[in-house]
Amino acid sequence: MRHRYVWHTIERLTQLGWHCIDDYIWHKKTSMPGFWPTRLRDGWEYLFHLAKTKRPYVNHEAVKVPMAASSQRRIQRIRLNEYAPRLSATGSGFRRAMRAWIGKTHVLPDNVLHFSPEARNKGHPAVYPIALPRFFIQLLTKPGDLVVDPFAGSGTTGIAALQLKRRCLLIDNHYPYCVLAAQRIQKEAGTGPEGLLFSPMTAAALSSLASEHPSNAYCGPLA
């Protein structure tokens, strides 16, 4: 059976005042083979964007993708009578103006993300592909921002953040995973020992770390 704890968490967070900005689907392009008596193979996961404000920072430009060749061909064939806004032929009531597409080369991706799961263990059983945190860090943060992952595991989020010139704060309640994350950060993000502060995350440390320590990366177990 599929547990509903994710839904319970989202409901509780909205009761606490968080805004649900969007629900994304991560389509696992190569899903795990197997057999489950009452259901099929797991091919996707939800990703939730919650924010403390209704209009959080979003950088659409950072994630735009090249326009499909078929759309480019369609734009070449825009007729004069299509320049002005007109109602969609589907009868939905939506208006569109083909002239808005002239000169465009890139468009927004949709909210279904197609990434293969990480195939290697990397010392942790649930490492996700780095493309996943990369996408959201580019979309939702600016260089220099602090990216926090309270369930950091092997530290993939931190590596993505540092590669994209953000800072990161990684927490995991399993000490060996914090050590692993720190090792991966030094190896895969090229952060030297001086750029990484490894410390238990006490409440006091959490509130002062980011502002007072010159490191780019903070990593440690829950105190």
Q: Which residues of the chain form contacts with ligand SAM (CB under 6 A)?
A: 124, 126-128, 150-151, 153-154, 156, 171-174, 177, 222
**Distance of closest approach, residue 122 Cβ to ligand SAM, in angstroms:** 7
Nearer to ligand SAM, 124 or 167 (CB): 124
Q: CA 184 to CA 198: how far, in whole Å? A: 13
- Across the chain, the runs of DSSP E, i.e. the strands, are 19-28, 44-51, 65-66, 86-87, 95-96, 106-107, 112-115, 146-149, 167-172, 196-198, 217-221
**Distance of closest approach, residue 100 Cβ to ligand SAM, in angstroms:** 38
Backbone angles phi, psi at 208, to 5 degrees: -105, -20
Contact 98, 82 (CB under 8 A): yes
Nearer to ligand SAM, 83 or 151 (CB): 151
Burial 33-57, CB ≥16 within 10 A → b, else e: eeeeeeeeeeeeeeeebbeeeeeee
Nearer to ligand SAM, 197 or 201 (CB): 201
- DSSP-derived secondary structure letter, 59: -
Report the number of secondary-structure helices (H) and strands (E) in the chain. Answer: 6, 11
Nearer to ligand SAM, 29 or 60 (CB): 29
**Distance of closest approach, residue 157 Cβ to ligand SAM, in angstroms:** 6
Nearer to ligand SAM, 147 or 171 (CB): 171
**Distance of closest approach, residue 62 Cβ to ligand SAM, in angstroms:** 21
**Distance of closest approach, residue 162 Cβ to ligand SAM, in angstroms:** 14
- DSSP-derived secondary structure letter, 1: -
Nearer to ligand SAM, 92 or 181 (CB): 181
When CB distances to ligand SAM are compared, the closest residue is 153
| Residues linked to residue 220 through DSSP beta bridges, in sequence order | 171
**Distance of closest approach, residue 204 Cβ to ligand SAM, in angstroms:** 18
